[in-house]
Structure 1
Amino acid sequence: MSGSRFPELNAARPGNAVPERWKLRAGQAIRLQPSQASELRVTEGRVWATFDGPHHGPANDLGDHFLSAGQGLRISAGQPLVIEAWGNNEAPAWLALCPVAPPQRALRRGVFGLSAA
Protein backbone atom coordinates (compact mmCIF):
# COMPACT_ATOMS: atom_id res chain seq x y z
CA MET A 1 0.00 0.00 0.00
CA SER A 2 2.94 2.32 -0.40
CA GLY A 3 2.02 5.59 -2.03
CA SER A 4 -1.55 5.20 -0.82
CA ARG A 5 -3.88 7.96 0.32
CA PHE A 6 -3.45 7.08 4.01
CA PRO A 7 -1.08 8.95 6.34
CA GLU A 8 1.75 6.62 7.34
CA LEU A 9 3.02 6.14 10.86
CA ASN A 10 6.33 4.35 11.39
CA ALA A 11 5.97 3.81 15.09
CA ALA A 12 7.36 1.70 17.90
CA ARG A 13 10.96 2.79 17.70
CA PRO A 14 13.41 0.53 19.56
CA GLY A 15 13.83 1.51 23.20
CA ASN A 16 10.47 3.31 23.28
CA ALA A 17 8.65 1.63 26.19
CA VAL A 18 5.91 4.27 26.47
CA PRO A 19 2.88 3.59 24.27
CA GLU A 20 2.26 6.10 21.51
CA ARG A 21 -1.37 7.34 21.35
CA TRP A 22 -3.39 8.56 18.39
CA LYS A 23 -6.87 9.89 17.90
CA LEU A 24 -8.75 8.86 14.77
CA ARG A 25 -11.75 10.95 13.80
CA ALA A 26 -14.83 9.09 12.52
CA GLY A 27 -14.03 7.80 9.03
CA GLN A 28 -10.32 8.71 9.27
CA ALA A 29 -7.81 6.02 8.26
CA ILE A 30 -4.06 5.68 8.81
CA ARG A 31 -1.41 3.26 7.59
CA LEU A 32 0.84 1.82 10.28
CA GLN A 33 4.06 -0.14 9.78
CA PRO A 34 5.95 -0.52 13.07
CA SER A 35 9.71 -1.05 12.96
CA GLN A 36 9.49 -3.68 15.72
CA ALA A 37 6.87 -6.13 16.97
CA SER A 38 4.11 -4.13 18.66
CA GLU A 39 0.65 -4.37 20.16
CA LEU A 40 -2.09 -2.04 18.97
CA ARG A 41 -4.70 -1.35 21.68
CA VAL A 42 -8.04 0.40 21.21
CA THR A 43 -8.52 2.52 24.33
CA GLU A 44 -11.77 4.23 23.22
CA GLY A 45 -14.19 3.75 20.34
CA ARG A 46 -14.10 1.12 17.60
CA VAL A 47 -11.82 0.50 14.63
CA TRP A 48 -11.56 -1.63 11.54
CA ALA A 49 -8.02 -2.87 10.89
CA THR A 50 -6.74 -4.80 7.88
CA PHE A 51 -3.36 -6.36 7.18
CA ASP A 52 -1.84 -6.34 3.71
CA GLY A 53 -2.23 -9.65 1.86
CA PRO A 54 -1.97 -12.13 0.41
CA HIS A 55 -3.99 -14.06 2.97
CA HIS A 56 -4.44 -17.81 3.17
CA GLY A 57 -7.12 -19.84 4.90
CA PRO A 58 -10.74 -18.96 5.70
CA ALA A 59 -11.94 -15.48 4.75
CA ASN A 60 -10.80 -12.71 7.11
CA ASP A 61 -8.69 -15.04 9.28
CA LEU A 62 -5.65 -12.86 8.71
CA GLY A 63 -6.95 -9.74 7.01
CA ASP A 64 -9.85 -7.82 8.55
CA HIS A 65 -10.34 -7.21 12.26
CA PHE A 66 -13.02 -5.18 14.06
CA LEU A 67 -11.84 -4.03 17.49
CA SER A 68 -13.61 -2.24 20.34
CA ALA A 69 -12.26 -0.46 23.41
CA GLY A 70 -10.09 -2.82 25.45
CA GLN A 71 -9.22 -5.10 22.54
CA GLY A 72 -5.80 -5.38 20.94
CA LEU A 73 -3.95 -6.76 17.96
CA ARG A 74 -0.36 -7.99 17.66
CA ILE A 75 1.63 -6.56 14.73
CA SER A 76 4.90 -8.07 13.50
CA ALA A 77 7.89 -5.85 12.75
CA GLY A 78 7.47 -4.23 9.33
CA GLN A 79 3.93 -5.58 8.86
CA PRO A 80 1.70 -2.98 7.14
CA LEU A 81 -1.70 -2.35 8.70
CA VAL A 82 -4.47 0.10 7.74
CA ILE A 83 -6.70 1.26 10.61
CA GLU A 84 -9.94 3.23 10.31
CA ALA A 85 -12.25 4.59 13.01
CA TRP A 86 -15.44 2.60 12.56
CA GLY A 87 -19.01 2.79 13.71
CA ASN A 88 -22.28 4.55 13.04
CA ASN A 89 -21.62 7.55 15.24
CA GLU A 90 -19.26 10.49 15.07
CA ALA A 91 -17.19 9.40 18.08
CA PRO A 92 -13.43 9.21 17.53
CA ALA A 93 -11.31 6.17 18.31
CA TRP A 94 -8.22 6.36 20.51
CA LEU A 95 -5.34 3.96 19.84
CA ALA A 96 -2.19 3.06 21.72
CA LEU A 97 0.81 1.30 20.20
CA CYS A 98 3.43 -0.26 22.43
CA PRO A 99 6.52 -2.24 21.38
CA VAL A 100 6.49 -5.89 22.43
CA ALA A 101 9.71 -7.33 23.84
CA PRO A 102 11.08 -10.22 21.81
CA PRO A 103 10.67 -13.59 23.54
CA GLN A 104 13.61 -14.62 25.70
CA ARG A 105 15.31 -17.78 24.53
CA ALA A 106 15.67 -20.33 27.25
CA LEU A 107 19.16 -21.80 27.33
CA ARG A 108 19.10 -25.47 28.18
CA ARG A 109 22.03 -26.49 30.35
CA GLY A 110 23.66 -29.91 30.52
CA VAL A 111 25.00 -31.61 33.64
CA PHE A 112 28.21 -29.55 33.78
CA GLY A 113 26.67 -26.24 32.72
CA LEU A 114 27.27 -26.89 29.02
CA SER A 115 24.50 -26.06 26.62
CA ALA A 116 22.65 -29.05 25.22
CA ALA A 117 22.74 -29.62 21.49
Structure 2
Amino acid sequence: MSASHVLNFQQSAVRDRSSGLDVYRLDSGKAHSLRPRVPMALRIASGRAWVTIDDPMGECDPAAGDIVLHAGQTLWIAAGQHAVIEPLGRDAVQYRFDISRVVKNETAGQGVVSARGPACCA
Protein backbone atom coordinates (compact mmCIF):
# COMPACT_ATOMS: atom_id res chain seq x y z
CA MET A 1 0.00 0.00 0.00
CA SER A 2 1.49 3.32 -0.95
CA ALA A 3 1.21 6.60 0.92
CA SER A 4 -0.85 7.95 -1.98
CA HIS A 5 -3.78 5.83 -0.79
CA VAL A 6 -3.40 5.84 2.98
CA LEU A 7 -1.89 8.31 5.45
CA ASN A 8 -0.49 7.94 8.96
CA PHE A 9 0.45 4.26 9.16
CA GLN A 10 1.20 3.47 12.82
CA GLN A 11 1.19 -0.31 12.66
CA SER A 12 3.33 -3.18 11.46
CA ALA A 13 2.54 -5.29 8.39
CA VAL A 14 2.99 -9.02 7.87
CA ARG A 15 2.11 -10.98 4.76
CA ASP A 16 -0.75 -13.49 5.14
CA ARG A 17 0.60 -16.72 3.63
CA SER A 18 -2.83 -18.01 2.59
CA SER A 19 -3.96 -14.86 0.75
CA GLY A 20 -0.63 -13.17 -0.07
CA LEU A 21 -2.02 -9.87 1.26
CA ASP A 22 -0.52 -7.59 3.88
CA VAL A 23 -2.18 -7.88 7.29
CA TYR A 24 -1.58 -4.91 9.57
CA ARG A 25 -1.37 -5.15 13.35
CA LEU A 26 -2.47 -2.24 15.48
CA ASP A 27 -1.67 -2.50 19.19
CA SER A 28 -3.89 -1.30 22.01
CA GLY A 29 -3.61 2.44 22.58
CA LYS A 30 -2.70 3.16 18.93
CA ALA A 31 -4.91 4.62 16.20
CA HIS A 32 -4.71 4.65 12.42
CA SER A 33 -6.20 7.41 10.28
CA LEU A 34 -7.43 6.37 6.81
CA ARG A 35 -8.48 8.65 3.95
CA PRO A 36 -8.36 6.59 0.75
CA ARG A 37 -8.24 8.18 -2.70
CA VAL A 38 -10.22 5.27 -4.12
CA PRO A 39 -12.97 3.14 -2.50
CA MET A 40 -11.38 0.59 -0.18
CA ALA A 41 -12.37 -2.36 2.00
CA LEU A 42 -11.32 -2.49 5.66
CA ARG A 43 -11.35 -6.19 6.64
CA ILE A 44 -10.83 -7.29 10.24
CA ALA A 45 -8.66 -10.43 10.39
CA SER A 46 -8.58 -10.81 14.19
CA GLY A 47 -9.62 -8.89 17.26
CA ARG A 48 -12.18 -6.11 17.52
CA ALA A 49 -11.92 -2.61 16.07
CA TRP A 50 -13.64 0.65 16.88
CA VAL A 51 -13.96 2.62 13.65
CA THR A 52 -15.08 6.26 13.50
CA ILE A 53 -16.25 7.45 10.08
CA ASP A 54 -16.71 11.01 8.85
CA ASP A 55 -18.46 12.12 5.67
CA PRO A 56 -16.05 12.68 2.73
CA MET A 57 -17.37 16.19 2.15
CA GLY A 58 -17.54 17.19 5.83
CA GLU A 59 -21.34 17.16 5.73
CA CYS A 60 -23.80 15.27 7.90
CA ASP A 61 -24.06 11.71 6.66
CA PRO A 62 -26.30 9.02 8.21
CA ALA A 63 -23.51 6.47 7.59
CA ALA A 64 -21.04 8.53 9.66
CA GLY A 65 -20.37 7.68 13.27
CA ASP A 66 -18.83 4.93 15.36
CA ILE A 67 -18.92 1.26 14.37
CA VAL A 68 -17.54 -1.80 16.18
CA LEU A 69 -16.19 -4.49 13.86
CA HIS A 70 -15.29 -8.07 14.76
CA ALA A 71 -13.03 -10.60 13.03
CA GLY A 72 -14.45 -11.53 9.62
CA GLN A 73 -16.31 -8.25 9.08
CA THR A 74 -15.65 -5.78 6.26
CA LEU A 75 -16.37 -2.06 6.17
CA TRP A 76 -16.44 -0.30 2.79
CA ILE A 77 -14.85 3.15 2.92
CA ALA A 78 -15.60 5.61 0.11
CA ALA A 79 -12.95 7.65 -1.68
CA GLY A 80 -12.20 10.76 0.37
CA GLN A 81 -14.05 9.47 3.41
CA HIS A 82 -12.13 9.75 6.69
CA ALA A 83 -12.00 6.74 9.01
CA VAL A 84 -10.05 6.19 12.21
CA ILE A 85 -9.47 2.61 13.39
CA GLU A 86 -8.34 1.61 16.85
CA PRO A 87 -8.35 -1.66 18.78
CA LEU A 88 -11.30 -2.18 21.10
CA GLY A 89 -10.11 -3.38 24.48
CA ARG A 90 -6.61 -4.47 25.45
CA ASP A 91 -5.92 -6.80 22.53
CA ALA A 92 -4.39 -5.79 19.21
CA VAL A 93 -6.46 -5.79 16.03
CA GLN A 94 -5.21 -7.26 12.74
CA TYR A 95 -6.73 -6.01 9.50
CA ARG A 96 -6.34 -5.59 5.74
CA PHE A 97 -7.07 -2.35 3.91
CA ASP A 98 -7.23 -2.92 0.18
CA ILE A 99 -9.11 -2.33 -3.04
CA SER A 100 -11.73 -4.99 -3.62
CA ARG A 101 -12.89 -6.28 -6.98
CA VAL A 102 -16.43 -5.49 -5.85
CA VAL A 103 -15.42 -1.91 -5.06
CA LYS A 104 -13.53 -1.59 -8.34
CA ASN A 105 -16.53 -2.72 -10.40
CA GLU A 106 -19.41 -1.19 -8.46
CA THR A 107 -20.16 1.92 -6.45
CA ALA A 108 -19.82 0.96 -2.80
CA GLY A 109 -22.10 2.52 -0.23
CA GLN A 110 -20.41 4.59 2.43
CA GLY A 111 -20.16 2.88 5.77
CA VAL A 112 -21.67 -0.41 4.52
CA VAL A 113 -20.65 -3.39 6.64
CA SER A 114 -20.45 -6.89 5.23
CA ALA A 115 -20.04 -9.63 7.80
CA ARG A 116 -21.03 -12.98 9.17
CA GLY A 117 -22.93 -11.08 11.82
CA PRO A 118 -24.18 -7.51 12.25
CA ALA A 119 -21.82 -4.73 13.26
CA CYS A 120 -22.42 -2.93 16.53
CA CYS A 121 -22.84 0.80 16.70
CA ALA A 122 -21.25 2.65 19.60
Give TM-score, length-normalised by structure 1.
0.62
Quote the Cα distance in structure 2 between the aligned partners of 1:19 and 1:33: 20
Which portions of structure 1, spanning 4 or more consecutive aligned residues, are displaced by more than 6 angstroms?
A: none
How many Å apart are 1:19 and its aligned residue? 4.1
Aligned residues: 85
After superposition, residues 25-104 of structure 1 pair within 5 angstroms as 25-53=27-55, 54-57=59-62, 61-87=63-89, 90-101=90-101, 102-103=104-105
**Cα 1:79–1:19 shift into 2, 3 Å:** farther
Alignment deviations for residues 56-105 of structure 1 (CA, whole Å, 9 cap, x no partner): 44xxx421110011111001112111111112xx321001012024226x
Quote the Cα distance in structure 2 between the aligned partners of 1:33 and 1:68: 21
Give TM-score, length-normalised by structure 2.
0.60
Point out which structure has higher relative CO (alpha carbons under 8 A, 6+ apart): 1
Query: Over alpha carbons, which structure has the higher Rg?
Result: 1
Q: For structure 2, which runs of at least 5 residues remain unmatched after alignment?
A: 1-6, 10-19, 107-122
Query: Which structure carries more strand by proportion?
Result: 2
Q: For structure 1, which runs of at least 5 residues remain unmatched after alignment?
A: 1-6, 10-17, 105-117
Aligned-residue Cα RMSD (Å) equals 2.0
SS in 2 for 1:55: coil
**Cα 1:100–1:75 shift into 2, 3 Å:** same
Residue equivalent to 1:15:
none
